Structure formats: structure tokens, C-alpha cells
Amino acid sequence: MAGMSMKACVTGVGNTEYRKQINRSAEVLAVEAVVAAAADAGIDPQQIDGLIPYPGHIGDDVIQAALSLNPRFRATIDMGGCGAVSALRLASMAVLSGAANHVLLFRGLKGSSGARKADRPSFLPGQPFRRHLEYVYGMNTPAQRYAVLCQRYKHEYGLDRRTLGEIALAARAHANLNPIAQMHGRDLTMDDYLAGRMIADPYTLFDCCLETDGASAVIVSARNDARDIRILSVAEGQGASPDDTSNREPFLDIGLTQAANRVWNDLGMGPEDMDAAMIYDCFTFEVLHQLEEAGFAGHGEGAALIADGGIRLGGKLPVNTHGGMLSEAHQAGLNHVVEAVRQLRGECGARQVENARLIAVTGWGQLGDGSFAVLGGRNV
Amino acid sequence: MFELAQIPVPDLTDETFAPFWQGTRDHKLRIQRCCDCKTHRWPPRITCRSCRSTNVEWVAVEPRGTLYTYTIVGRPTAKGFSTTPYVVGFVALDAVPHVRIIGNVVDVDPSALTIGMALNGRFVTAGPNDEMTLIHWSPAK
């Protein structure tokens, strides 16, 4: 059993409120989340000696200066939405090697009240491709880039809009059990979903993740106390052409495909062992897509898992019990790690997955990068 | 439908892309082919991913293909594209089916689009001074 070897643990998680507009700077929000995570870990912030920031968000220099930290390990992971789970891996390596004791992962942004996505600098790889081959044809947003994946899947396997709708509705139902969620208290019906305005066909408004003002933080430590959540295994992978989706073959191949296999092989476990999954839900179809690529359903069979409440609390595999990026907040996936930890500690109240012991978390970004982790509670 | 003069012009002298842009200016669709193993490749890269050779030539192929996937953009996000809806498609070339070219699909009601439909490319000048030539794809008659 994997738990026999030394594992790094998530010891602290924290976040601010998640809202459409918060009248504090992103820097202040980030510091609040970090202080909360340190308190949650039972450490003084000054004990944080490793920092992994997120490109384009608040830099590690800001946190270091604000909290007077003296880090001995700093690294940046330039993998977009894959970065939260990949940072768990790097932080694990750092604390297990002795390079640091407490490594901080954090996000802080004015993603909603700040500049629009299309007006912010792009950190995607292959910038020349974007400029020469995509922008000149009016293709410049994540919704458009991900829509073509969904459209092709629809052609190959068939896909009912109501399946995508159920992914959005399940996220919203979970968010309505989560008081900190940006969309808490705002019901979403299938009629609302189907009436959503077109963004990039097949994606309409409610297929797309939120933009959020807020911050979150996670601390990974070389510690294994009673409340700490073990990072049992974590891996990365890449799509067949890492910087270009248009000529990828197989077209729907993503980094998660390899990453999940690595974790299942490492642990001697499989999808059937998971009590819940936190899936990087930038768009509705990407939940279905990743459930298939990680092995929770066969290719073309994800809709059956999603039907009949399969991904809701109480279903076969509760997915994104916090509401995900579709309904809790956009924290580039770090809120998925936070939720997995709270579930495994049994802190989730009305949205608690009963006896949650093992939770899978995915990351997906930069057009091809995928990451996958399994976190384990104390009773594993 | 598009404000062609407002579309941002990339650096047409970029050495990786210049032969492509020179090709479209001459109304040719040119893609890369490895001089050594003759594998066609796209998008332009410095190395053949089959044999690792950096010897590359640019060969003209017929601008004909089929629609591999697409999106209908419903809200304006890009300069030169303020009128929606418009269509961005990936077109698999008849001559080299593993090569897919990104472009706008025009002259078709977006609701009539089907994956696999035959398309022909035509060359359209764009940019503030007509300095670049784009490829628009229409249903084959």
C-alpha cells in the first residue's frame, strides 16, 4: 500500500471570499489567503520557507515582502490550469528532499473586476502560432479553443446538450451547499442553461467557468500529523503536440491521459477506488473529457456516468463538491485542491461526501498539459 | 462580415512563417515538408518530428479540404471580428489529411455546418495596408 512510504502532506488551506467584485487589491487578497492557510496548518507564516506562485497572478516577491518571509525554495510552474496539481508534485519533492519544510502554493487575482480575459497577456505556449495562425481568424479565447475539442467529440461519439447542462447544474447544486461559492444562492435550471447566450458554439454562457475576484492558498509540508492530508501520488503528462491543438493526433489526447495512468500504476488503485473527484472544469465538456481520459468512464461513455445524478453528491462519483470553477470560483484549479483537503478532513458540512477517504484531483492547462493527484485522508 | 483592414498583422518577416505568408500573397497554400524524410508538417516547426532533420522546404498544396472541427463565435473578442456570429474551422487538407489549417469558414449559414463537409479555400487580402493574405474557406460547389 502506498501509505507505507513517506508522503508529503497538505497541512493548511485557506481562501478569501469569492465574489464578482471585491474592493481590495489582489495583493491584499493573496496575503489574507496565505495567512488563513498558515493558521489552518498551525504554523506562523514565517515558517513558510518555500514558494510556488502562479504566472500572471501575484508574485512570490509580494508575499515574501508582505509577510517578511525568508524562503529557501522558490519555483514557478508555467503550466496554466495544470499548475495547481503540478505544484503539489513539486512541493512534495521539495519537502521530501529537505529543500524546504513548508511550501506555499497560492493564487490571488481580480479575475472578474480586472481586465477581460482576451485583453490580458497570454501565457500560452506557441505564441507565434497564436499570432500567425489564430488571431488573424478571430480565435483568441479559451472558450473558442476548447469549443473545437467539444465539437469534435460530439461528432465522434455524440453528445446531448443536456449532458453538458447537467454538468453545469451539478456544479451549481454543489455551490448552493457551499456558502463561500461565488454563485451560492443562485439557482440554475435546465431551462436557464438551455437559454444561455452563445459564447463559442457548442459553448453557451453556463458552459463557461466563472471569472472571480479572490485568493486561495495551500501549504505542503514535511509533516504527517493527525489532521494532515497525504499526497499519495501525483504525476504530469502532455498531449501529443504540447503547444498546438489543431494538428494533435489523437485529437482528444491530453496530458491527463498519461498522468492518470502513472498515478493508477503507482498506487495500484483505479478510478473505482475514488470517493470523489475534483476535475478542472474550465468548460462543461472538459469535465466529461477528463473523466474519460482519467479512466472514470470509457471513451464516449462519460455521459452515462453523468446521467441520473452520477456526479452529484450521493451519486456514483461526486465531482466538484465545492461547485468548481463553474460555480465556486476561478482559482486556476487551486480551489479544487482546497476542497479535496476539506472533504478528506470531513469539514464540508452539508456538502460532505460521507466517509471520504480518497479523492482524485485533475489539472489541465496550456493546451496540452495535464496533471493528476490522489489525496488520502487519515482513514486510508 | 469581417473588418479585414483591422485584423492585426503578425510579423510577416518572422523566419518561421515568412514562406507561408509569401505563399498566400501569391495565392498559394504552402506548408512545410521535410527535405530528408519528406514528411509534411504543420504548424510550421524548426524540426521534423519524424526524423529530427532541420532541412525544410515549402510545398504548395491545393487549398481544398474537409471540415474537421469548428466553433461558431457568438460574442466579439478579437480585433477585426466585431460582427458575430462567425465561424473558425480546422480544415483537414485533401492532399495531406493529417495537416489541419485554421481558417474562417464563410458563405454558409453556421447552422448548416457539418463536420466532414468539403471546403475550398480562397485568398483574401487583409490588414490596414492589405499587407497580408488570409485564406477563407467556402463550401465546395
Q: What is the pLDDT of residues B23-77, one digit of tens each?
A: 999 999 999 999 999 999 999 999 999 999 999 999 999 999 999 999 999 999 9
> Does A198 sit within 8 Å of B74, measured CB to CB?
yes
Residue in chain A nearest B49 by alpha carbon: A241
**A126 interaction partners in chain B (CB closer than 8 Å):** 43
d(CA A295, CA A362): 12
> C-alpha distances in angstroms, B60 versus A37, A132, A255, A355, B134?
58, 18, 33, 62, 15
The total number of structural domains in chain A stands at: 1
Pick from A130, A125, A241, A124: nearest CA to B17: A130
> Does B86 sit within 8 Å of A135, measured CB to CB?
no
Question: How far A16 CA sits from the closest chain B CA (Å)?
Answer: 30
Instruction: Compute the C-alpha angle B130/B132/B133, nearest 5°.
Output: 100
Axis-axis angle for helices A284-293, A161-175 (nearest 10): 100
> C-alpha distances in angstroms, A330 versus A112, A325, B35, B67?
9, 5, 46, 33
Domain membership flag for residue A184: no
Residue A129, chain B, CB below 8 Å: the answer is yes
**A118 interaction partners in chain B (CB closer than 8 Å):** 77-78
**Per DSSP, what are the bridge partners of residue A219?**
A12, A104
Looking at residue A313, its amino acid is L
Looking at residue A268, its amino acid is G
**B102 interaction partners in chain A (CB closer than 8 Å):** 133-134, 137, 139, 246
SS (H, E, C) chain B: CCCHHHCCCCCCCCCCCHHHHHHHHCCCEEEEEECCCCCEECCCCCCCCCCCCCCEEEEEECCEEEEEEEEEECCCCCCCCCCCCEEEEEEEECCCCCCEEEEEECCCCHHHCCCCCEEEEEEEEECCCCCEEEEEEEECC
Domain membership flag for residue A370: yes
**A246 interaction partners in chain B (CB closer than 8 Å):** 42-43, 90, 100-102
The mean pLDDT of B120-124, rounded to a whole number, is 98
Asked if A345 and A227 count as a contact pair (C-beta separation under 8 A), the reply is yes
Assigned C-alpha cell, A231 = 499526497
Question: How far A143 CA sits from the closest chain B CA (Å)?
Answer: 9
CATH number reported for the structural domain that contains residue A302 in this entry? 3.40.47.10
Residue A2: the pLDDT is: 41
Question: How far B141 CA sits from the closest chain A CA (Å)?
Answer: 23
Domain boundaries, chain B: 4-139
Which structural domain, as residue segments, surrounds residue A323?
Answer: 2-114+211-376
**Per DSSP, what are the bridge partners of residue A74?**
A51
Quote the mean pLDDT of chain A.
Answer: 95
**B69 interaction partners in chain A (CB closer than 8 Å):** 148-149, 151-152, 155, 251
Residue to mutate among A132, A145, A252, with most B CBs inside 10 A, is A132
> Does B10 sit within 8 Å of A132, measured CB to CB?
yes
Domain membership flag for residue A141: no
Cβ within 8 Å of residue A47, ≥6 positions away: A38, A101, A102
Residue in chain A nearest B41 by alpha carbon: A247
Q: What are phi and psi of A297, to 5 degrees?
A: -150, 155
Residue A291, CA atoms < 13 Å, CB-side half-sphere: 29
The owner of cell 515582502 is A65
Q: Which of residues 89-108 of A touch B (CB under 8 A)?
A: none
Q: What is the pTM of this model?
A: 0.96
Q: Which of B20, B42, B126 sits opposite A247 (nearest CB)?
A: B42
* Share above pLDDT 90 across residues of chain B, in percent, rounded to a whole number: 99
Quote the mean pLDDT of chain B.
Answer: 97
CATH (residue range B4-139): 2.40.50.840
> Does A201 sit within 8 Å of B98, measured CB to CB?
no
Q: Which residues, given as ranges, of chain A have pLDDT below 70?
A: 1-5, 117-118
Residue A117: the pLDDT is: 67
Q: Which of A139, A151, A203 sits opposite B69 (nearest CB)?
A: A151
Question: How far A236 CA sits from the closest chain B CA (Å)?
Answer: 22
Cβ within 8 Å of residue A36, ≥6 positions away: A14, A15, A16, A217
Domain membership flag for residue A133: no
> Does A148 sit within 8 Å of B71, measured CB to CB?
yes
Q: Which of A135, A197, A203 sits opposite B8 (nearest CB)?
A: A135
Question: How far B4 CA sits from the closest chain A CA (Å)?
Answer: 9
> Does B73 sit within 8 Å of A200, measured CB to CB?
yes
> Does B115 sit within 8 Å of A155, measured CB to CB?
yes
Residue A5: the pLDDT is: 64
